[in-house]
């Protein structure tokens, strides 16, 4: 399906909330699975966060997955004036959480940036708490509201659109997550299809706030429909 989109001349951008690996690693994994994707075609929270850090002169204390650290290689991390939280997985230790908390509570005006607000996800060995849960813990302890980078943040979709040079009304989001993919894209002025695969649950079709522009059974069907309308 990806190959068919690219062959048609349409522009393509993959929007992921992956924060356990660099974009380079993520693309390497996709290519190993046979997908013809380049790093420039991937919009991910960490590079988006780097742009924000640079724009606002923020020096982060990082609580992220070891494999994500290279994304912040060029960022000044001395004398931190914000805390940047990703899905740190095994790095979510009691000591690391207390350390991030101390950095945050020690600021005159605490700034917490979170790479996503997911509640949990499934791995082969079971369900795991996602970054959103730890974000809530720090928000509560410091009485602060995190700034979320990544889906469903409007700014995140805007940067994907900017990457393609396409206005929102000419773009279509295809995703399996009713809130993060469909809701986020629609709030940005895009149309959005929900695939009935992956995270999709039949109860999504009764979601109180978000209604996709259409449902499709899978990505292949979405591409069929889009290409037919060209």
Say whether residue 97 binds a second copy (CB under 8 A): yes
Q: Which residue has the tokens 């995140």?
A: 156
Choose which of 3, 29, 120, 225 interacts with a second copy (CB under 8 A). Answer: 120
In the complex with a second copy, the residue whose CB is nearer, 130 or 221, is 130
Q: Is 141 in the site for a second copy (CB under 8 A)?
A: yes
Residue 123 forms beta bridges with which residues?
126
CA distances from 63 to 107, 160, 185, 209 (A): 16, 25, 28, 32
CA gap 82, 8 in Å, rounded: 44
- Count of residues engaged in binding a second copy, rule: CB under 8 A: 28
Is residue 134 a contact point for a second copy (CB under 8 A)?
yes
Rounded distance between C-alpha atoms, residue 24 and residue 141, angstroms = 35
Please report how close the Cβ of residue 104 comes to a second copy at its closest, in angstroms.
10
Question: What is the smallest separation between the CB atom of 15 and a second copy, expressed in angstroms?
Answer: 23
- Token readout for 64 is 């992220």
Give the C-alpha distances (Å, rounded to integers) separating 137 from 66, 85, 190: 21, 12, 33
Question: Of 104 and 193, which has the nearer Cβ to a second copy?
Answer: 104
Dihedral Cα 22, 116, 215, 165, nearest 10 deg: -60
Q: State in angstroms the smallest separation of the CB of 17 from a second copy.
A: 16
Q: Which range, of 1-9, 27-35, 45-53, 101-109, touches a second copy by CB under 8 A?
A: 101-109
Q: Which residue's CB is nearer to a second copy, number 132 or number 168? A: 132
Minimum distance of a second copy from residue 83's CB (angstroms): 13
Q: Where are the alpha helices (DSSP H) in 33-119?
A: 45-56, 94-105
Q: Does 108 bind a second copy (CB under 8 A)?
A: no
Rule CB under 8 A: which residues touch a second copy?
89-90, 92-94, 97-98, 101-102, 105, 119-120, 126-130, 132-134, 136-143
């Amino acid at each position: 399906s990806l190959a068919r989109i690219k062959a048609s001349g349409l522009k393509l951008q993959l929007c992921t909330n992956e924060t356990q690996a660099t974009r380079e690693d993520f693309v390497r994994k996709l290519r190993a699975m046979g997908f013809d994707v380049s790093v420039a075609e991937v919009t991910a929270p960490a590079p988006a966060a780097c742009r924000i850090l640079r724009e606002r002169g923020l020096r982060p204390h990082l609580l992220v997955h070891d494999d994500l650290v290279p994304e912040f290689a060029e960022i000044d991390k001395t004398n931190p004036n914000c805390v940047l939280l990703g899905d740190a997985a095994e790095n979510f230790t009691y000591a690391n959480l207390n350390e991030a908390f101390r950095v945050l509570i020690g600021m005159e005006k605490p700034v917490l940036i979170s790479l996503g607000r997911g509640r949990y996800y499934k791995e082969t060995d079971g369900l795991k708490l996602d970054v959103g849960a730890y974000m809530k813990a720090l928000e509560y302890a410091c009485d602060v509201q995190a700034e979320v980078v990544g889906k469903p943040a409007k700014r995140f979709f805007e940067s994907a659109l900017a990457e393609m040079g396409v206005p929102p009304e000419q773009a279509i989001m295809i995703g399996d997550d009713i809130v993060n993919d469909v809701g986020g894209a629609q709030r940005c002025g895009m149309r959005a299809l929900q695939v009935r695969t992956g995270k999709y649950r039949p109860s999504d079709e009764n979601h109180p706030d978000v209604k996709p522009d259409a449902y499709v059974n899978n990505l292949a069907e979405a591409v069929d429909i889009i290409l037919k309308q060209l």
